[in-house]
């Protein structure tokens, strides 16, 4: 079952979307939820992690992902997507190009969350020195 929630990773808040092992129809509700959740955050403040391990994409899900990325773009600082197959990576790269969202791809969720943590720590240091 897919879901979306805010998690705490080393005292950094991350919007975590889990579509692991879902097919297209099962994953769509998670993206409806993430749109509602992200809308509550300030501009360019959201660190987002999507676990797409073994997810199966169809036309409806890809359309929902594009809609979500465009809608959430003003609120999201950066997104990591974890666990994609080679084919899914190609599909996601086309979404990145079409939406201009800053996204990084990782094999594991732990690697993705750690990268988001490091990214946020660098952002905070940069803000403090500015």
What's the CATH number where 9 sits? 3.30.750.24
Q: Is residue 53 part of a domain?
A: yes
The reported pLDDT for the residue numbered 32 is 96
Q: Is residue 52 part of a domain?
A: yes
CA distance 76 to 91: 20
Q: Grade residue 87 by pLDDT with cuts at 50, 70 and 90.
A: confident
The domain in which residue 104 lies consists of 3-110+120-129
The reported pLDDT for the residue numbered 28 is 96
The reported pLDDT for the residue numbered 1 is 86
Task: Report the predicted TM-score, pTM, of the whole model to 2 decimal places.
Answer: 0.90
Give me the number of domains the chain comprises. Answer: 1
Q: Is residue 115 part of a domain?
A: no
CA distance 65 to 75: 15
Residue 4 has pLDDT above 80, yes or no: yes
Q: Is residue 69 part of a domain?
A: yes
CA distance 96 to 80: 11
Q: Is residue 47 part of a domain?
A: yes
Q: Is residue 16 part of a domain?
A: yes
- Whose tokens are 């084919």? That residue is 87
Q: Is residue 38 part of a domain?
A: yes
Q: Is residue 8 part of a domain?
A: yes
């Amino acid at each position: 079952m897919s879901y979306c929630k805010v998690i705490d990773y080393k005292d950094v808040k991350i919007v975590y979307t889990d579509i692991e092992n879902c097919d297209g129809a099962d994953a769509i509700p998670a993206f409806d939820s993430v749109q509602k959740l992200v809308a509550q955050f300030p501009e360019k403040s959201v660190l987002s992690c999507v676990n797409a391990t073994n997810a199966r994409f169809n036309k409806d899900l890809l359309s929902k992902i594009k809609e979500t990325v465009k809608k959430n773009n003003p609120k999201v600082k950066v997104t990591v997507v974890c666990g994609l197959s080679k084919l899914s990576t190609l599909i996601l790269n086309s979404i990145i190009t079409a939406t201009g969202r800053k996204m990084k791809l990782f094999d594991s969720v732990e690697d993705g969350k750690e990268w988001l943590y490091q990214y946020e720590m660098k952002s905070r240091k940069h803000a403090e020195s500015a």
